[in-house]
Amino acid sequence: MKQIGKLILTLVLPLTIIFFGTIIKWRYVHIDDLPNDFLLGFPLPFICNSWGSSMSLQIFIEEFLFDFLIYFILNLTIVLLFDKYVKSIIVGKVFKFVLFGFSTLTLMFYGLIFLNHDNRFKIKSDFMYKEIRSGYKFIWQEVKT
């Protein structure tokens, strides 16, 4: 049990933060009475443009937490299966430092985005949409409409 806790803190949590912050599913959607827009998040969309202000976002807390939990469970499952059936995982100091560095940078990047005072945080999305196209991307890639 102590080994699992150590793996969670040193490997699973940083990997979850890194993957959650860099690999995104996008959806180009039609929203009734509004222009077409992009929704981001996997498996549920949790972020989109705010329609009240041009440089702000809508962030849906319930979907955000659910998505983070899914990423965490997937990472935990993969790490534990690898640790049990393939090879025992021992996280070295350098690798741990790199993981914590990347996860800290990812958290800081999203922290800066979420600190925008124009952003709207909602408990749950309150609109219906019809998906036109979807795909996956890294955060630094651009999706063309």
**Residues 41-71 pLDDT 10s:** 999 999 998 887 778 899 999 999 999 999 9
Number of domains observed in the structure of the chain = 1
Q: In what order do the strands lie in the sheet with 47-49?
A: 120-122, 57-60, 47-49, 37-40, 23-31, 129-138
Q: For the chain, report the end-to-end CA distance as a whole number of angstroms.
A: 48
Determine, yes or no, domain membership for 142.
Answer: no
Determine, yes or no, domain membership for 15.
Answer: yes
Looking at per-residue confidence, does 38 or 143 come out higher? 38
Residue 65 sits at φ, ψ, to 5 deg, of -65, -40
- Spatial CA neighbour of 52 closest among 105, 122, 132, 5: 122
Say what the pTM is.
0.87
Give residue 81's domain range.
Answer: 2-134
